[in-house]
Amino acid sequence: MSTPSPTPTPAPACRHFGTCGGCQTLDQAYEAEVRDKEQSLRALFEGGGIASSTVRPLLSAQAPEGYRTTLKVPFAGYRGEPQAGFYRAGTHEIVNLEECAIQHPALVELLQIARELAAECRVSMYHEARQSGVLRALAARVGQGTGALLVGLVVRRADDRRVAQMAQKLYYGMRRRGLVGVVENHHDQASNAFFGKVTRVLHGEGRLPETFDGLQVQTSLTSFSQSNHTDAETVYRVARELLEPVANKTITELYSGWAPLGLRLAAAGAKLFCVEQSKIAVRDGQRNAKDNGLSDRISFCAMDAAHGLLQAPPSDAVIVDPPRKGLDEMVRIGLQRGPAPHLVYISCNPVTLLRDIEALADRYQLESIQPVDLFPRTPHVECVASLRWRNGS
């Protein structure tokens, strides 16, 4: 989807805007951003042959700034000092983050303190080109409904004495402000992947406590979670409304993660079969199901979506929530066989959503697309689409 055209407003509320790649539309009035996003969406879908009446009005974000409850930033050295922040757009040059209009304020404060401690403890900064140094990145999250904080230090080499000192100072310095744990993620590969495969707890807890809809959950830092808790609730509400009545339905969820949606549906009386490739996310989901007394209503399959679909029980509906690249080809082939009469597609990329709707058109008829502004101050939009079997399927 194209970047919305700018509508000038007073100076953006962030000194980094224009150089940092974290947001792109802070120089617009939010109302203009919403209007431009909706126009771009309608143009995209209408160009693909989808009737304008099928696309519902974009649901605005409840808080267009300060909403991001997940922070993932690289570290690097510059003139002997640690730098941490988002990359300058189109580069691997770090903009040293001092403030941020879209991040949760607690995460900005945590980053600033972590950077100061990295300097104080003289931690060696990772150098991407040379594949040297230790501290690669920092990840942190704010817990939904709890305000708890969990932070992870991504390192090239485990058991570094100075990283250990930094972690200890960070934990005990921030514990009274809600920090429940510091973990270390070991990532020694020359790749663009943010996390490595091994994570261990350095101090406190290794999972983040959260509450929503009467459920109490704990999730690992490396398990994917939506970066906007407030408006993710809107996405989940829209999906559930499309699936009503939920009680006693059998639902297969592909790309489920730790099942933040699946757990909500199971609590509402549905029977869920969740497919997720990440074993860490599956373990989180299984533990949360057990802790909330839902193990008899939700099960998990730790494999890729295509193979998981083959294992799925007969279902009343299938939910898919793929990454930006959209559905894998083998998943599209499996869905073209029409394993369930109702398909709910949650998409973070309207372009691949359109492609997949077209690929499934022989089997499924598009009913509606509900856009949600899950990523305000960026060009990105979340969409929830409802598709049903064509007559005679």
Among 163, 181, 212, the domain boundary falls at 212
Q: What tens digit of pLDDT does each residue of 57-68 get?
A: 999 999 999 999
**Dihedral over Cα of 207, 227, 192, 353: its sign:** positive
Neighbours of 314 (CB within 10 A): 8
Is 28 a member of any domain?
no
Same domain, 232 and 206: no
Q: What is the CATH number of the domain that holds 372?
A: 3.40.50.150
Q: What is residue 391's predicted lDDT score, i.e. its pLDDT?
A: 79
- Asked if residue 274 is part of any domain, the answer here is yes
Residue 312 domain-assigned (yes or no): yes
Whether 208 and 230 map to the same domain: the answer is: no
Q: Are residues 161 and 265 in the same domain?
A: no
Q: Let me know whether 239 and 361 are in one domain.
A: yes
Structure confidence at residue 91 (pLDDT):
86
> Is the per-residue pLDDT at 7 higher than 70?
no
CATH code assigned at 160: 2.40.50.1070
Same domain, 254 and 159: no
Q: For the segment 88-132, what is each residue's pLDDT rounded down to a tens digit?
A: 888 888 999 999 999 999 999 999 999 999 999 999 999 988 999
Of the listed 14, 274, 301, 348, which one is catalytic?
348
The domain boundary, picked from 150, 177, 212, lies at 212
C-beta neighbour count of 383 within 10 angstroms: 24
The domain in which residue 305 lies consists of 52-60+226-389
Cα separation, 241 vs 53, in Å, equals 19
Over residues 15-25, the pLDDT tens digits come to 899 888 889 99
348 is an active site residue: yes
> Residue 251: pLDDT above 90?
yes
Q: Which two structure tokens, joined as six digits, stand for 282? A: 């599956």
- Answer yes or no: do 371 and 230 share one domain: yes
- Quick one: 122 and 198 in the same domain? yes
- Let me know if residue 33 belongs to a domain: no
Of the two residues 38 and 391, the one the predictor is more confident about is 38
Q: How many Å apart are CA 63 and CA 359, to the nearest integer?
A: 35
Q: Is residue 78 part of a domain?
A: yes
For residues 281-307, average pLDDT: 98
Mean pLDDT, range 301-319, rounded to an integer: 97
Q: Is residue 355 part of a domain?
A: yes
Instruction: Report yes or no on 38 lying in a domain.
Output: no
CB 316 within 8 A of CB 341: yes
Please tell me the pTM assigned to this model. Answer: 0.94
Looking at the structure, tell me whether residues 281 and 198 fall in a common domain. no
Structure confidence by residue, pLDDT tens digits, 253-268: 999 999 999 999 999 9
Cα separations (Å) of 207 from 97, 185, 199, 279? 26, 13, 11, 15
Least confident segment among 8-17, 144-153, 265-274, 344-353? 8-17
pLDDT single digits (tens) 198-212: 999 999 999 999 999
E strands, the chain, are: 70-78, 81-84, 135-142, 149-155, 179-186, 198-204, 207-212, 215-220, 250-254, 271-275, 298-301, 317-320, 342-347, 364-372, 382-389
Residues 184 and 333 in one domain: no
Pick from 212, 234, 252: which residue ends a domain? Answer: 212
Three-state DSSP class for 250?
Answer: strand
pLDDT more than 90, % of the chain:
88
Overall number of domains in the chain:
2
pLDDT for res 128: 86
Averaged pLDDT of the chain? 94
Same domain for 255 and 370, yes or no, is yes
Count of CB atoms situated within 10 Å of the CB of 263: 24
Whether 16 is covered by a domain: the verdict is no
pLDDT at 21: 83
Same domain, 259 and 183: no
**56 and 96 fall within a common domain:** no
